A = this chain, B = another copy of it.
Amino acid sequence: MLLRMSTMLLKTLREEPAEAEVPSHRLLLRAGYIRRAAPGGFTWLPLGRLVLDRVTQVIREEMTAIGGQEVAFPALLPRDPYEVSGRWTEYGDEIFTLRDRRGAEFLLAPTHEEMFALLVQDMTSSYRDLPLVLFQIQTKFRDEARPRAGLLRGREFLMKDSYSFDLDDAGLGAAYALHRAAYQRVFERLGLEHTIVSATSGAMGGSASEEFLASSEVGEDTFVGCTACAYAANTEAVVTPVPAVPGREHPGLTVHDTPDSPTIAALVDLANARALDGRTDWTAADTLKNVVFTVHHPGREDELLAVGVPGDREIDTKRLDAALSPATVSVFDDFEAHPDLVKGYIGPQGIKIRYLADPRVATGTAWLTGANEPGRHATSVVAGRDFTPDGTVEAAEVRAGDPCPACGTGGLTIRRGIEIAHIFRLGRRYTDAFKVDVLGADGKPARLTMGSYGIGVSRAVASIAEQHRDDRGLLWPDEVAPADVHVIAAGKEGQVEAALDLGATLLAEGLRVLVDDRPQLSAGVKFTDAELIGIRRIVVVGRRLAEGYAEVRDRRTGERRDVPLADVTRVMKELAG
């Protein structure tokens, strides 16, 4: 197909769109790939649609290569299966729900574990029907509280979701490995630099999961790597190593007057000034900070929770949310209603609400913490002696340089990334819920085990745009570019006709061609637009047309050279190689 810019629905923008927060969003808007149509909803314009199709096709090919079979489910589904699995409640506000004209409840499905489990239950009966990998490439809807960053976090987006069904853990492991490898090939073809990290599974359930994070400063996820080993994890999934606690005797708990010290900094200053317990080397790490949260459990009542972390660390509410998923937290501040919770002076000893502590608050560790009285703190408050937490929780911030949980020798580095894929070993959560059995080889019913695997297709497009751009515009990897060659008619005499002829020749050679044949624009405007649009190979049919030459440019290297018109096709193919 020869794309002609003179008739294409395309309007590039010179100015920065006010609505755009991140580079990919700005450039995709400016270059005419997308337009906003709704809060968190975008229209794919002709150029954008071509890129989306290319990305979709790469994913489809790699899924087919691992034996995936493509199906397509409805997006609008009845409540019942999601009620059975518990996700109707667990997803809460995150899903769009609605009623039909008769009042029956439906949802716009976030993913389709329930429906695939039911389908496989319907369509299989014997171990011979397994294993199965099924996938779909489908529009998904989520009621994001804060749609942002264009395609990176929308309310309606394209997703490839696949589901594996196996007889046993070994089968699930194999399907998981196949997906992991297929995803690596996908992202390599898409030119997406990424890291595979351990992740939390959230409301999806299952025993273990990994995310593919595309490196990007604008990513919403932070992840750690180790300077010494291969460990990589979403900060939400970092497991703090429990410190070895020397079995030494602590003095008894002592309460001190500590007026005007509701903050850690003030408390440490005061402790050193007064030499509490005879010490003047108090640091924030010796204190235990206790923060109260309201926990919102989907489908049931809120609960109060106190979380204790060493005073030198902030609480990372994304980590806390992940640890408590599907519940979410908000900071509690109605202290008047709870006189037993003394703001600024809370200690875990005798606390009346649920109390979870950081793993560093191990049995036998001693802390300087609140005495649960205004203006008083206590020293030598020993975990396991003076208080016993209801459990541990990963809520403290992860910091660069923290010890590696895997090798213990390296330190952690922290980077940001965009979650472009997530793969889950689900196990039997959904097959148990729907009793998905087949007759095993031994003649007995066998409960199937499941994996689920998702790629954010539209998000991948934005991630490619984030990673492949410069200050002049986009710079697509060849595999996903909307065309292979961008031919510019940089003149008004015979150039337009010659550019179209050249386009037709390139097309006949199997290349996809975009021709800038707009009659009323200057060469300068066309060059600027070409750099914005970001197709790597550019051919300029300009002033040397009369001599039989065109100029070939490589948008990536900046290289330019004049080439006889007759050789352009050959040169284009070489550049492609």
Tell me whether A37 and B73 are in contact in the complex, defined as CB-CB below 8 angstroms, given that A11-B123, A43-B115, A64-B1 are known contacts.
yes
CA–CA, A10 to B120, complex, Å?
10
**Which residue on B lies nearest to A44, using beta carbons?**
B72
Interface centre among A76, A78, A96, A132, by most chain B C-beta atoms within 10 angstroms, is: A76
A37-B115, A98-B97, A101-B145 are known contacts. Are A9 and B74 too (CB-CB below 8 A)? no
Question: A76 to chain B: which residues have CB within 8 Å?
Answer: 38, 41, 96, 108, 141, 155-156
Residue of A7, A43, A97 contacting most chain B CB atoms (<10 Å): A43
Question: Which residues of A (28-84) have their CB < 8 Å from a CB of B?
Answer: 35, 37-39, 41-46, 49, 52, 64, 67, 69-78
Q: Which residue of B lies closest to A46 (CB)?
A: B69
**Complex Cα spacing A41 to B76, Å:** 8
- Tell me if A520 is interfacial: C-beta within 8 Å of chain B: yes
Are A43 and B73 neighbours in the complex by a CB distance under 8 Å? yes
| Size category, A interface | 35 or more
Assembled-state Cα–Cα distance A120/B37 (Å): 12
The closest CB in chain B to the CB of A108 belongs to B76
Q: Using A43-B119, A69-B8, A100-B143 as known contacts, say yes or no to A156 and B74 having CB atoms under 8 A apart.
A: yes
Q: Which residues of the other chain, B, contact A444 by a CB distance below 8 angstroms?
A: none
Complex Cα–Cα for A49 and B70 (A)? 7
User: How often does this chain occur in the complex, in copies?
Assistant: 2
Shortest Cβ gap from A182 to chain B (Å): 16
Q: Nearest Cβ distance between residue A507 and chain B, in whole angstroms?
A: 13
Which of the listed residues A38, A69, A101 has the most CB atoms from chain B within 10 Å of its own CB?
Answer: A38
> With the chains together, A97 CA to B139 CA distance in Å?
18
Contacts of A37 in B (CB 8 A): 73-74, 77, 115, 119
Using a CB–CB distance below 8 Å, which chain A residues touch chain B?
1, 7-11, 35, 37-39, 41-46, 49, 52, 64, 67, 69-78, 93, 96-98, 100-101, 104, 106, 108, 115, 119-120, 122-124, 128, 132, 134, 139, 141, 143, 145, 155-156, 520
Task: Supply 30 A–B pairs (Cβ within 8 Å), ascending by A.
Answer: A7-B67, A9-B120, A9-B132, A9-B134, A10-B123, A11-B122, A11-B123, A35-B122, A35-B123, A37-B74, A38-B77, A38-B106, A39-B100, A39-B104, A41-B77, A43-B71, A43-B72, A43-B74, A43-B115, A43-B119, A44-B72, A74-B156, A75-B139, A75-B156, A76-B96, A76-B108, A76-B156, A96-B100, A96-B106, A101-B143
